[in-house]
A and B are shown apart, each in its own frame.
Chain A
Amino acid sequence: MTRIVKIEEKLFQNRYRVDVGRPHISILDESKCRSECPDHQCTVCCPAGCWIMEGNGQVTVISDGCLECGTCRIVCDSHRNVAWNYPRGGFGILFKFG
């Protein structure tokens, strides 16, 4: 069996400057995730695990560990329910090596 290194352990190695209280990604209409989206691909495809399916069936996003790739915005193509911007200048992921 392969031991899967958890995403949190990996992100711990990265360098971030979090813009506290100003997330750069958000859900436009939370009820849409519950009622119109059957497969919640954002929760699987996000390489940083920022998207989580909560126990109550609601999808939530915490963008602190975001790698700013754009995946969540593009996989949500049939609902267009992701408000996606870059963080303010100087904030977000700061790659040490890239």
Chain B
Amino acid sequence: MSEKFDVIVIGAGPSGNAAAYTLAQAGLSVLQIERGESPGSKNVQGAILYADALEKIIPDFREDAPLERHIIEQRMWVLDEDSFIGSHYRSDAFNQQPYNRYTIIRSQFDKWFSERVRKAGALLICETTVVQLLLDGQRVVGVMTDRQGGEIHADVVILADGVNSLLAKNAGFHPELKAGDVALAVKEIHFMPQEVIEQRFNVANEEGVVIEMMGKITQGMMGTGFLYTNRESVTIGVGCMLSDFKTQQMSPNELLEHMKAHPSIKPLLQGGEMKEYTAHLIPEGGFHAMPKLYGEGWMIVGDAGMFVNAVHREGSNLAMTSGRLAAETVIELKASGLDFNATHLSRYKSRLDESFVMKDLKKYKDMPDVFHTNPQFFNDYPELLSKAVRTMLTVDGVDKKTKEKEIRKSFRSRRSLFGLVGDTLKLWRAFE
């Protein structure tokens, strides 16, 4: 293939599809390259789709996108060895159309998105791995694929190749990922009849629940667990910083197995049939860990650019938005007849800065550090909280004042008064 395109997009996940769709809609010639058998076959997500980011790209997506359940209830559990303290937020407002968030199955969703991209006029080739970027000096001028005669040229290349971001790394645009900047998540999907899910989680047809969990299930590591309902399946998983897995010598599979055996979680999976086990890295390094996002003839979007808000568990919406903004930058430059050099492509960064993407990432820029250096938030507090509640709720003839004293003492002996005050301050500063 010796053709030349306006744009090559590498990857057909949310960011790549958002970019390719936006570009094709504007009439540019777009080649999208995907290494999977079909779009989605390499992609993994704790799959909550936030409607807003997609709506800005495909306003009528609800008409035919494969959506599982819209979320009407969000639960937050803090667990110790054999119990949990939970808060549930359920609102009828989440049950009014248009819905705000949905669970999705990525292999189906990505295929649907990709069909829209092709209908918009982009050319997609699957089962093709891009092995390196073609450089002319500093300038990216195309890609080399693993197909015969695999050189393809374009005016600009959008890297939507996922968290490992091998292409930009091999081209020397950024260094290797650090274990402290990525979380390793493992998850399983368990199938069970629709009625069982609806009874078990107290929801009606098409309504869904998400449970986020922290505490003992991560065995002292910085991370969270999650469980959510699909139409005919329940997905359960846990993700922790890779640096913690490393230092604690923890097997991710065993971590997930222990979590599934927790007495509060086990009944939710009862009778289900496990049909797939997946693992994925999540780029959670945040603002300070972001690589350079553009250069001579290239831009990075999605996970490859570390577009994840770890605090709010948002990723695919940042990915889609970054893809759209990269595409809009290309469209604008092309319309003005401007070259795709780094100076002009810096407009992509300006667009990101003006959007919620960078505003949110900046807001939580210190969050990863706070949790990294203060494991008590994942260790001590969940256990202390749980013991406190158990003490108060156990009716055993001990008066309540004595119980309160006992609770205060347990907190102080575990964290000291200074520690407690310091922790509050740290959290407050990081969230402010």
Contacts and interface: CB of A to CB of B under 8 A. Distances in A.
B37 A93 contact: no
Interface residues of A, number: 41
B42 A2 contact: no
A97 B107 contact: yes
Contacts of A75: 179, 242, 245-246
Contacts of A67: 277-280
A37 interface: no
B41 A95 contact: yes
Given A5-B257, A77-B176, A95-B42, A69 B35 contact: no
Interface in A22-65: 39, 41, 44-45, 47-49
Given A4-B254, A69-B281, A94 B41 contact: yes
A94 to B, nearest CB: 5
A97 B257 contact: no
Given A2-B257, A70-B163, A45 B252 contact: yes
B279 A98 contact: no
B199 interface: no
Interface in B168-207: 176-179, 182, 184, 186, 188-189
B177 A94 contact: no
A8 to B, nearest CB: 10
Interface in B320-353: none
A79 interface: no
B275 A97 contact: yes
B257 A71 contact: no
B105 A86 contact: no
Contacts of B47: 98
Contact of A45 (B37, B45, B246): B246
B107 A98 contact: yes
B135 interface: no
A26 to B, nearest CB: 15
B384 interface: no
B277 A86 contact: no
A90 B38 CA distance: 8
Interface of A: 2-5, 7, 10-11, 13-14, 17, 39, 41, 44-45, 47-49, 67-71, 73-75, 77, 80, 84-90, 92-98
The 5 closest A-B pairs by CB, nearest first: A90-B127, A98-B106, A47-B279, A10-B277, A89-B127
23 contacts: A5-B257, A10-B188, A13-B276, A39-B249, A44-B251, A45-B245, A45-B251, A47-B186, A47-B279, A71-B281, A73-B164, A75-B179, A86-B129, A89-B127, A89-B129, A89-B145, A94-B37, A95-B41, A95-B276, A97-B107, A97-B275, A98-B44, A98-B105
